Amino acid sequence: QKQNNDLQVLNQRLSAEFQTETENFNKALHDSLQHYLAVYNKDKKYSLIFSKQGDNLLYADKAYDITNEVVAGLNKAYKSKVSAAAKAKK
């Protein structure tokens, strides 16, 4: 019985830690995306940038889909950041 209780307590603690880590990761990702979009949009001058996630966007012409551009830009920024961090370690 004590082992079951200990396992339940451990499971609850680890689940809470995992949820906290997931929330922190998602917030960091969201903040990174928001920052990148602000920089990206200085040149593009879009009035609105929609997320394709969720059901609120019923139709969008593919001509306005900037997903690939944004992902490529985020990847480039990430590689630059990793490269700079690697150089700093040397």
Domain-wise residue ranges, the chain = 2-89
- 42-65: average pLDDT: 89
Residue-wise pLDDT tens digits, 4-34: 999 999 999 999 999 999 999 999 999 999 9
CA distances 50 to 19, 30, 67, Å, are 27, 14, 10
Indicate the DSSP class of residue 1. Answer: -
Q: Could you tell me which residue, 14 or 59, shows the higher pLDDT?
A: 14
